[in-house]
Amino acid sequence: MVTRKSDAQIALMRRAGRVVAEMHAASIDLIRPGITTADIDRLCRTVLERRSARSNFLGYHGFPAVACISVNDEVVHGIPGPRVLRDGDIVSIDCGAIIEGWHADAAVTVAVGAISSADQVLLDVTKAALDASIEQCVAGRTLGDIGAASMAIVKTAGFDYLREYTGHGIGTAMHEPPDVPNYGKAGRGMRLQVGHVIAIEPMVTAGRADVMTLDDDWTVVTADGSRAAHFEHTVAITDDGPEILTASS
């Protein structure tokens, strides 16, 4: 069942969202050639502790970290560890926080040092796809409108997008109904109402979107080795249109 959140519940999700935004801002400040993906995870843990927030990633189906960190051809669900980031890498940080039982979830893909113009376009297009979907988060529009807006931008740019993984409702659990695909037909699917809160998260590949999971049972990589980007926000449908709960204050 898709639930509608009260203003008070959305206020708690906004607090959780601000923590996630702080985790991302701190990570972006830290990221440079020579650091490890474990360094980013450690920093995210300190932000959670400072804000007395819990992690919704740590222990999720046994996940061992507070952030999924995915580099280059890794699309999502990368496990932080000793990997050293190098000049020209792109790195996705997907993380979340819980405040008083209410969840937020967001992702960003960041350049390490100087990246190629092709990689910069991949990042810009994926971010634009997310922004276009967020614009559709208005009561009366549909999940199809959200997916169609994202898909149009990705296709026009000549990139591809994952079908196997989608955005999702979010609230007292990180993953609630409905699924929020990054594709669709305008006007189709569930109609959005004030109080719905969803996480929208386009996953875009420079090559084909065929993916496989590595032997660690987590890391999703492109089958053709092409690079991928992932941007995500937790968004509330309000009387005034979309509110990005994972934006910095």
The contact set with Mg ion (CB under 5 A) reads: 94, 105, 107, 199, 232
Q: Shortest approach of Mg ion to residue 118 CB, angstroms?
A: 25
Q: Shortest approach of Mg ion to residue 42 CB, angstroms?
A: 19
Closer by beta carbon to Mg ion, 64 or else 88: 64
Instruction: Tell me how far apart the alpha carbons of residues 11 and 90 are, in angstroms, rounded to a whole number.
Output: 33
Whether 141 contacts 191, CB under 8 Å: yes
Whether 204 contacts 119, CB under 8 Å: no
* CA distances (Å), origin 211, targets 4, 83, 139, 225: 34, 21, 34, 9
Instruction: Tell me how far apart the alpha carbons of residues 61 and 18 are, in angstroms, rounded to a whole number.
Output: 25
Closer by beta carbon to Mg ion, 59 or else 113: 59
Instruction: Tell me how far apart the alpha carbons of residues 52 and 16 are, in angstroms, rounded to a whole number.
Output: 10
Closer by beta carbon to Mg ion, 107 or else 224: 107
Q: Shortest approach of Mg ion to residue 87 CB, angstroms?
A: 26
Instruction: Tell me how far apart the alpha carbons of residues 144 and 104 are, in angstroms, rounded to a whole number.
Output: 23
Q: Shortest approach of Mg ion to residue 108 CB, angstroms?
A: 10
Whether 40 contacts 67, CB under 8 Å: yes
Q: Shortest approach of Mg ion to residue 143 CB, angstroms?
A: 15
Closer by beta carbon to Mg ion, 2 or else 186: 2
Closer by beta carbon to Mg ion, 37 or else 187: 37
Q: Shortest approach of Mg ion to residue 168 CB, angstroms?
A: 6
Closer by beta carbon to Mg ion, 9 or else 55: 55
Q: What is the DSSP letter of 79?
A: P
Element (H, E) at 220: strand 220-222
Whether 164 contacts 183, CB under 8 Å: no
Q: Shortest approach of Mg ion to residue 206 CB, angstroms?
A: 21
Phi, psi of 11, deg, nearest 5: -60, -40
Contacts of 85 (CB under 8 A, 6+ apart): 31, 32, 33, 34, 35, 36, 37, 71, 91, 112
Closer by beta carbon to Mg ion, 144 or else 202: 202
